[in-house]
Amino acid sequence: MKKLSKIVCLLMVLVLMIVMTACGSKKESTEEPVTDAQTEEQASTDEASDDYDIAANLKLMGDPEGVKIVDTDHFTLTLPLGGTWDYDYDSKTSITFYNIAGREADCGGRLFSLVAYEPDDDSYKGLPHYSVVGESGGKVYVAEYPSDVQADVEVEEHMKQYETVYAEVNKIEAKAADSPLVLK
């Protein structure tokens, strides 16, 4: 009888361990189950965006002292002080332009990001600071701006460079006739 009690206790402990392990796995996963319809929708979205690349045929022109131009199949960006800023290719739908000195000083350096959204995706409306640049080639282009100055405010020369380039970036938001960003 004692052997049977021990076996039952061991089995109960084993069952409890399995149940606790299963519960722990459920707690770690915060994702909702994906339905077949969602999988098919995501697959069709991925296929459509697989062909798109915001930086397709990217070319850099200009010089470090003067104007630098970034030209792609989808847009042209022309900014002054070409040696003070650069870009990061974030993804097939996003490219970020930044101030080099600000980034090197661990101040971020971000000037703005240009992001291409699908026409039915308005998730950018939750961003703190953005402007819709326009529509082209079946995409909605949104400029996403930093919410603070991304330069080392202690270094006067760096601030002048940042402010000069950012003044041009502000023309994008204002949709100025002489905006440095032109969609194709």
Element (H, E) at 4: helix 2-28
Shared-domain flag, residues 64 and 46: no
Supply the pLDDT for residue 63: 86
In tens digits, the chain (184 residues) has pLDDT values of 555 555 655 555 454 444 444 444 333 333 344 444 444 444 444 444 569 999 999 999 998 889 999 999 999 999 999 999 999 999 999 999 999 999 999 999 999 999 999 999 999 999 999 999 999 999 999 999 999 999 999 999 999 999 999 999 999 999 999 999 999 9
Supply the pLDDT for residue 104: 97
Whether the CB-CB separation of 173 and 145 falls below 8 Å is answered with yes
Q: Which domain holds residue 160?
A: 59-183
Work out how many domains the chain is built from and give that number: 2
Supply the pLDDT for residue 36: 47
Strand order in the sheet with 110-117: 85-91, 94-99, 110-117, 139-144, 130-136
Shared-domain flag, residues 113 and 26: no
**What are the C-alpha distances in Å from 51 to residues 39, 123, 180?**
19, 21, 26
Shared-domain flag, residues 65 and 149: yes
Shared-domain flag, residues 43 and 104: no
Shared-domain flag, residues 77 and 130: yes
Nearest to 90 by CA among 112, 67, 57: 112
63 Cβ contact list (under 8 Å, min separation 6): 82, 83
Shared-domain flag, residues 46 and 111: no
Shared-domain flag, residues 139 and 63: yes
Shared-domain flag, residues 148 and 68: yes
Shared-domain flag, residues 101 and 153: yes
Shared-domain flag, residues 7 and 45: yes
